[in-house]
Amino acid sequence: MADLLYEIGTEELPAGYLGPALKQLGAQLERLLQESRLGAERVHVAGTPRRLTVSVEGIAERQPPLRVRSVGPPARAAFDSDGNPTPAAHGFARSKGLPVEALQVEETQKGPYVVAVVEQAGEPAAALLPGLLAQAAAAVTFPKAMRWEGDAFQFARPIRWLVALLDGELLPLTIAGVRAGRRTRGHPFLAPGEIELADASYERYRDALRERFVVVEFEERRDLIRAEINALMAQHGAKLRDTALLDEVADMVEFPHAVEGSFDEHFLSIPAPVLSAAMKEHQRYFPVRDANGELVPRFITVSNRTAEQDDLVREGNERVLLARLEDAKFFWGQDSRRRLDELAPRLEEVVFLGGLGNSLQRCERLAELGALIAAKLGPSVNARHVRRAAHLCKADLLTGLVGEFPTLQGVVGRELARAHGEPEPVAEAIAEHYLPGGADDALPATPEGSVLALADKMDVIVGCFALGLLPSGSQDPYALRRNALGILLIIERNGLDLHLGELVQMARATYRDRGVECDDEAAAKVREFFRDRLYNAAIERRYRHDFVRAVLAAGYDEVGGFWDRLSALAECAGRPWWPALVELVDRTFRIQRDAETREPVREELLQEPLEKELAAALRGNRDAVAGLFEKSDYVGAAERYCEVFARLVHDFFEDVFVNVEDAALRLNRKSLCAEVYRLFADRFADLYLIETAEGPQ
């Protein structure tokens, strides 16, 4: 077995590019090694803004031999009556590089056929790897990439050096005109120059870089930054909480060192979220708070230098931040002079989406839709506050601060609403209606914010589907998937008594009143879209795919109920009666799925003792089982259902012939099975979709 060290040295990558690129590079190389039959015991990625590194342990030095079996012509065509090979046999053998005597005859489902078995010798890893390494690099994608003139190769930044070592052997690799060598590079300012590598040992590579002021491991850089920032923040009674910024900064330096700076405390008159954004958005500074969570006139920056340069780093960053804070103070002073309700009418000049009107019209729709949702939820939500927040929620898009710091949309609106005396629920709803921004983002904390967030997200989804602007593959320009996930999370986590179908109908009505029609076909696609989002969310939570499909088949309009049923189904799968339950639902589904119509069971057509007993059990237990389902006691209902029907249904199928010639009798028996099936499958999950040890049902 051999080890591989692969490094792509580049000009400095933009913030946010390194992590995804490393993940892709490692995954692509691991896949290619497996497909090439070289394998890998361990694939490890590391990197800095100037290098992407993959270390692979346990690569086979040569591919194992491969036996390729090919089926040729029928034996009757390959050999004559005397057993001599025909031209067809000779041609087939020649195409496989074999003498005709090496052909074999095997019995297949179609009869005897000629078979050729070819032994392919494995290629050495050193011969295959250069092509695989180039393929892996070419497969890495970036938000923006550069293309070399006369070369189809694309990368985020120009490649400046390559390292490709298999144990001690240098691999003949060239990418974008750069030839691989044995030399990597140290820190560009603290230890410029090349580092000779004797072999593919990752430990020696990592240690050699560390000696030259390069910490190549992301986790190590992040831990160093966290420790230094916490030491500085502890002096103010606080500690680091912004892990997202920490991860971003850790990918921007090779030798991290935290430096504390200060600014004039008169800037604290700027609202804290605006002040924090001025520090974080463009400069990636860490704001400093005291033990009470209040901002203090300090900040922490992470430099790519040693402590000897602290004074110079501090002075330069303080000078840069001063300009940013002056801008923020100016914009806040300008923006705070105007009330949101003075800005809101100007939203008429801002196009929301072609065909869906301007942003002022959108706010009117949000006010109406929000009021409908609030009415559905009852007195826990102040509909008047929802309407007010809806009319104002997009006005801050016209402010200078949001123009300068786009991520502050909603936050600036909240601060302006507070400054001009709007009720606090209105101010909070303005900020919260953008939440959540993703699966791990915070949810709206107020009822009014939750309602307005639901209205905002459902409005854009229904509007886009009405225009046929559906997501496709990785393309989702209007963030419809993110908005749908936000709706599902808000309903689930807050336990809201809202059905997806109701929300879709409400949004359709607000559009219809304004001349935009989301027809039935588009509405059906919206519901299917939510179904797909639920499926993906459940898979990400590591539920079995067949469990998710089974629960979805029983309905998903009630989001909270969907998650309750899915959790209960996973619990049922651990009970001793689970196999009998699956068989019960599966058999009652299969026997009646081809029934032409659905008819109620006719008592006068019941003849056999077991079908009468089954019908009696259904009459006597239907309400009890259904009642347990209505109380959301899904496990209890499943157990009761299994206890009552499992043995009966088994005996029924053993002793009663369902598909009799008498059409009425046949339909009646199928109707009986259908009612047993629907009692469970319509309320809990369709276990026909469960995959058993024998395979899919």
CB burial class (10 A; 0-12, 13-18, 19+) of residue 514?
middle
How many distinct helices (H) and strands (E) make up the chain?
Answer: 25, 19
Position 150 scores a pLDDT of 63
DSSP annotation of 279: H
Alpha helices (H) in 96-192, listed in sequence order: 125-138
pLDDT exceeds cutoff 80 at 439 = no
Position 696 scores a pLDDT of 41
Q: Report residue 658 CA to chain centroid gap.
A: 47
Of the pLDDT bands very low, low, confident and very high (cuts 50, 70, 90), residue 525 is very high
pLDDT exceeds cutoff 90 at 185 = yes
- In the chain, % of residues over pLDDT 90: 76
Q: How confident is the model over 138-180, as pLDDT tens digits?
A: 999 998 888 875 667 889 999 999 999 999 999 999 998 899 9
pLDDT exceeds cutoff 70 at 693 = no
Three-state SS annotation for 630-681: HCCCHHHHHHHHHHHHHHHHHHHHHHCCCCCCCHHHHHHHHHHHHHHHHHHH
Q: How confident is the model over 66-80, as pLDDT tens digits?
A: 778 888 889 888 888
Q: pTM, whole model, 2 decimals? A: 0.79
pLDDT exceeds cutoff 60 at 656 = yes
Q: How confident is the model over 576-623, as pLDDT tens digits?
A: 999 999 999 999 998 888 776 778 888 889 888 999 999 999 999 999
Position 659 scores a pLDDT of 87
User: 628 versus 64: which is more confidently predicted?
Assistant: 628
Position 505 scores a pLDDT of 96
CA distance 682 to 669: 19
Token couple for 26: 């490692």
Check if the beta carbon of residue 258 is closer than 8 Å to that of residue 301.
yes
Position 149 scores a pLDDT of 59
Of the pLDDT bands very low, low, confident and very high (cuts 50, 70, 90), residue 691 is confident
pLDDT exceeds cutoff 60 at 695 = no
Q: How confident is the model over 113-137, as pLDDT tens digits?
A: 888 888 777 888 899 999 999 999 9
The enclosing H or E element of 159 equals: strand 159-166
CA distance 11 to 253: 13
The CA-based angle 151-157-158, given to 5 degrees, is 55
CB burial class (10 A; 0-12, 13-18, 19+) of residue 656?
middle
Q: How confident is the model over 368-390, as pLDDT tens digits?
A: 999 999 999 999 999 999 999 99
Determine if residue 479 is left, alpha or beta; phi over 0 gives left, psi from -120 to 50 gives alpha, anything else beta. Answer: left
Other Cβ atoms less than 10 A from the Cβ of 605: the count is: 16
Position 697 scores a pLDDT of 43
Close Cβ partners of 333 (under 8 Å, ≥ 6 residues apart):
none
pLDDT exceeds cutoff 90 at 232 = yes
